[in-house]
A and B are shown apart, each in its own frame.
Chain A
Amino acid sequence: MAHFITSRLASVCGLNGLQSRKITYVKSFAPRPFIKRLKPKKKFDDAPGRLKTEVGLMNARKQIKARYPRERKISDQQAINWPDVWPGWAPFRATTVPFPVRMGMRRQRLRLPNPVKYANPELVKLPNFLHLTPKHVETHCDAIKHFCTPWPDSFDDVDCGHYFPVQVTSTDYVFAGSSIKRPEARKITLQINLKALKMPDETKQKFYTLAGELLNRDTGIITIQVDRCPTRKQNTDYALYLLTALYSESFTAEDWESNLTYKDMVDHDWKVSPSKGSVLRVIKAVSKEVDSTTEDDLLQRKVVIDYGKAVDNLFNASKDTDMDEVMDNYRTAALELMGYSLSRRKAIKK
């Protein structure tokens, strides 16, 4: 191999301009051949545990002979069954890969040799995926397939959310080194949708107050992140305990909770708001019925209830709500409360 390259180099190098210099070419990197003693020293070589040196130069040369490269022996049929030839990860072996590959940069194509795959460490340095060809993947999948059952079609995201409301997320880490310990692996995130927790409206308000930032009001997902315990299992148990505590605490009503004012409310509640008082005054002023109707009757009127809902929507609107719709709703509710309905107004105008 080395001889071939140097002879080609010599012919192609263009030595015409260098004729005046005496040039000696190095044929290869091989050192001068090590000539062994022809008659081994008996006492030294016959001692137990020693390798017996071979006699003669020719025999010495044959001792590590390069194997006949498999790629020349391999038949097409064998090569087609590539998973048998290259079963698992292995560094690039020029003598096993049956196709020619070149690896190396040579700007001067005429002067420099072809960077073939033989004795090319650059190819070994790179990662190769000869153990993951489509044929390999197919064979692996076929081997595992009969253990698998198809995913049930009826089991979609909605069902998943219904049957498995609690989602626990944990991360596993991979590291190339002698230690597999990862302290970050004990951290877990527990997520549950508010819809999965059945609570009446009053307890919901308390839940919102207790949960605070754990609850995302727009999506309704409660997120609890725990990493205070040394193991992952302990952290999941603690997270579940926190959730249970939150839920049960929101049901217990303390005595002082009945003294909650308008400012303590998380969501705007029209029934506790100053707007309710002013609405009742306005109705009494506008309507011609005098004192015969009580406050409770007034509050049960559809017009008043609708107005209350519209005001609540206005205050409780999140970023995603369409404000035009909410404002429109409030406008109609307010006008109807005052005794004007839009359709009637249009009729009057006409």
Chain B
Amino acid sequence: MLITQVSLVRRSLSTSVPRCKKVSGRFRTTKNRSRALTYEMAKKPSDIGVSKGWNISQTSALEGERNEESGTTARALFEELFVRNFLQGTWHQMHVFTPVIKRRLNQVHICLFLRSVHGPNINVVYFLTGYTEQMLSYILKCPVKLYVQIIKDRPVYKLI
């Protein structure tokens, strides 16, 4: 008698068909359109370079830039993340949009939008600007300049 059927015993993960859906950088719609989005929030990540700009401008990723010895692209990225964290903590609840970082030659220019906040007065803004510039220039070893613009509120682009 021939054994026609051989059942192999295997240990494997039980999986389902993957749901290929892009969810990054997108906001879920509400039933009553109560979610307000700015222009930046409304545009998807695929629109970067098309209808949305870059938050950081630097030249460390260009062709021919030496990266083998000093790892300059990695360092620039790391510093950018640090700067954003620092700004988020220093200007807590006051900043409006993602800060725009521009690197030109030795300098780092940071463009910040602030919201007029009830409570602290303008002296606090001056102090924090000086504090940010000093601290960041010591940490990054570059001259850091902060450009602050105070606006009333974020403009609503889309309601979701």
Considering the chains assembled together, what is the distance between the CA atoms of A118 and B156 in angstroms? 12
Contact status of A118 and B76, CB under 8 A, knowing A51-B120, A63-B119: no
**Could you tell me the dominant secondary structure of chain A's interface residues?**
loop
Considering the chains assembled together, what is the distance between the CA atoms of A105 and B51 in angstroms? 6
Judge whether A24 and B149 touch: CB under 8 Å: no
Judge whether B44 is part of the interface by a CB distance below 8 angstroms.
no
Judge whether B151 and A60 touch: CB under 8 Å: no
Set of chain B residues within 8 Å of A178, measured between Cβ atoms: 75, 106, 140-142
Interface 9-mer from A122-130, A196-204, A265-273: A122-130
Judge whether A26 and B34 touch: CB under 8 Å: yes
Contact status of A119 and B151, CB under 8 A, knowing A64-B122, A126-B53: yes
Set of chain A residues within 8 Å of B54, measured between Cβ atoms: 125
Set of chain A residues within 8 Å of B111, measured between Cβ atoms: 91, 121, 124
Judge whether A121 and B141 touch: CB under 8 Å: no
- The interface size bin for chain A is 35 or more
Contact status of A65 and B116, CB under 8 A, knowing A28-B156, A176-B103: yes
> Which one, A9, A22, A179, contacts B32 given CB within 8 A?
A22
Name, among A21, A33, A60, A178, the residue most crowded by chain B CB atoms within 10 Å (CB to CB): A178
Contact status of A66 and B152, CB under 8 A, knowing A105-B51, A122-B39: yes
Chain B residues with CB under 8 Å of chain A are 31-36, 39-40, 50-55, 57-60, 65-66, 70, 72, 75-76, 96-98, 100, 102-106, 109, 111, 113-114, 116-122, 124-125, 140-142, 147, 149-159
Chain A residues with CB under 8 Å of chain B are 1-2, 5-6, 9, 21-26, 28-30, 33-34, 36, 51, 53, 60-61, 63-67, 89-91, 93-95, 104-105, 112-113, 115-116, 118-122, 124-127, 174-180, 183
